[in-house]
Amino acid sequence: MEQNEQITAMPRIGDKAPEFKAVTTQGEINFPSDYKGKWVILFSHPADFTPVCTSEFMTFAKMEPEFNALNCQLVGLSVDGLYSHIAWLRTIKDKIEFKGMKNMEVTFPLIEDITMNVAKKYGMIQPGESSTKAVRAVFFIDPKGMIRAIIYYPLSLGRNFDELKRALIAMQTADTYSIATPADWRPGDDVIVPTAGSCGIAKERMESNDEMTCYDWFFCTKPLAIEKVLVK
């Protein structure tokens, strides 16, 4: 490790989202207090005017209404400056056409973080990958300002936006219905009911033939209609 390389503890799932004030393409923000009562996807990208990032920003812009409809705001960050951000977003809108997306206007805030203050607080600088660029980090922060999920991708790998939306809906559904979601769950699929906490309940579950399906006493699922999951 370099002598001047600072070790910062990375925030973890279940931690309060670290606070910061920042300049963005939509004005100054106080994070996370400006977003109280809303979910936030706070994400970093390595650099403006790069191809993978451009494809991601166009996709975020296209999907922003879908995230907003789920009570979720998008906030982006890179260690570039404000004028670079503005120039890049203007170029995307005016010149880039990709996979049927064109004239894509990015209206969510993009943080300028030349000092790397925020990126370091959130463990977005991972020197093994790059010490001058943020990796592709995604933090899901809930309406109480708690970190609920974190996904990291390397510089060369564009994010899967279906998965970001699926993860958000799954966490919101788990909160609303006190259930969990199995592998590859999608809205409309069966959900997992909490594991039996007593021998009596385990027995009851195995013997009852109500709406639950039990593969064994500890693994029971039940239907949850898509209308109940996607209702807003």
- Site membership for ligand BEZ, residue 18 (CB under 6 A): no
Residue 53 appears among annotated catalytic residues: yes
- Among residues 18, 32, 40, 46, which is the contact residue for ligand BEZ, using CB under 6 A? 46
**For residue 43, which of 55, 33, 57, 54 has the smallest C-alpha distance?**
57
Residues 145 and 37: beta-carbon distance below 8 Å: no
Which residue in 41, 53, 74, 191 binds ligand BEZ (CB under 6 A)? 53
Residues 128-157 that bind ligand BEZ (CB under 6 A): 133, 155-156
Q: Which of these is catalytic: 53, 72, 214, 220?
A: 53
Residue 136, token pair as written in the block: 């592709």
Q: Shortest approach of ligand BEZ to residue 98 CB, angstroms? A: 12
Q: Can residue 51 be called a binding residue for ligand BEZ (CB under 6 A)?
A: yes
Q: Quick one: 4 or 156, whose CB is closer to ligand BEZ?
A: 156
DSSP string, 131-147: SSS--EEEEEE-TTSBE
**76 near ligand BEZ, judged by CB under 6 A:** no
DSSP string, 148-199: EEEEEE-TT----HHHHHHHHHHHHHHHHHT-B--TT--TTS-EEPPPP-SH
Question: Per CB under 6 A, does 47 bind ligand BEZ?
Answer: yes
Task: Between 25 and 50, name the residue whose CB sits nearer to ligand BEZ.
Answer: 50
41 closest CA partner among 75, 83, 65, 85: 75
Q: Is 71 in the site for ligand BEZ (CB under 6 A)?
A: no
- Give the residue with the Cβ less far from ligand BEZ, 25 or 55: 55
8 A C-beta contact, residue 103 and residue 97: no
CB 124 within 8 A of CB 134: yes
- Active site amino acids: 53
Question: Can you give the binding site for ligand BEZ, defined by CB under 6 A?
Answer: 46-47, 50-53, 133, 155-156
